[in-house]
Amino acid sequence: VAVFTKKEPISVHYGLHDNKYDDEGRVITLEFENFYYVACYVPNSGEELKRLDFRMQFEKDLVSYLNELNEKKPIIYAGDLNVAHNEIDLKNPKTNTHSAGFTIEERNAFTNLLNNGYVDTFRYLHPEEVKYSWWSYRFRAREKGIGWRIDYFVVSKSIIDKVKSSEIHNEIFGSDHCPVGLEIEI
């Protein structure tokens, strides 16, 4: 959920460097006076991990893009990032180690993002809390509490002290995902 008060964006950009990935509609960047807001739908690695290589290239290009923006002003990066970063972020980690969204490659890519100066706001504020933002439509997964946390708000480390709250609203129904929210004063 992104709600901006008081200001209109200075500019809007679709895609990454040189409009890469525009054909998939993956990234929208809003530039504001004091920060960039980057909304993203990270590619899913797919059945049998058929798109894992594509996704890993996307992840590298994305970090490069975010780092270029972050040199100018801080980043708020949000969306369906299609990765459960740690075992706490999904119900059944042991049986999903080779599943799209929980491969070592995908998890390492997210770790690399964080190591580049970004912070997972929910995990920062709720280090031990188990909450999910996505559930399969199969087998009544949501009803059974079998979910994954794959929707995030990530911010530049330089503005983590401005984050007031980061929440997962799993009480809201209507999709296989639930809204996530960030309150930040920037």
Condensed to tens digits (0 to 9), the pLDDT of residues 15-54 reads 997 778 878 889 999 999 999 999 999 999 999 999 999 9
Tell me how far apart the alpha carbons of residues 8 and 31 are, in angstroms, rounded to a whole number: 9
152 is catalytic: no
What SS3 state is found at 133?
A: coil
Q: Could you tell me which of 178, 186, 126 has the C-alpha nearest to residue 156?
A: 186
Whether residue 132 has pLDDT greater than 80: yes
How long is the chain?
A: 186
Q: What is the pLDDT of residue 19?
A: 77
- Amino acid letter for position 81: L
Positive/negative CA dihedral, 61, 67, 85, 141:
negative
DSSP secondary structure code for residue 20 in this structure: T
**Catalytic: which of 14, 23, 37, 80?**
80
Which one from 41, 120, 151, 152 is the annotated catalytic residue? Answer: 41
Task: Judge whether 176 counts as a catalytic residue.
Answer: no
CB atoms within 10 A of CB 93: 15
Between the two ends of the chain, the Cα-to-Cα distance in Å is: 17
- What is the C-alpha to C-alpha distance for residues 18 and 27, in angstroms, rounded to an integer? 12
Q: Is the pLDDT of residue 1 over 60?
A: no
76-86: pLDDT as tens digits: 999 999 999 99
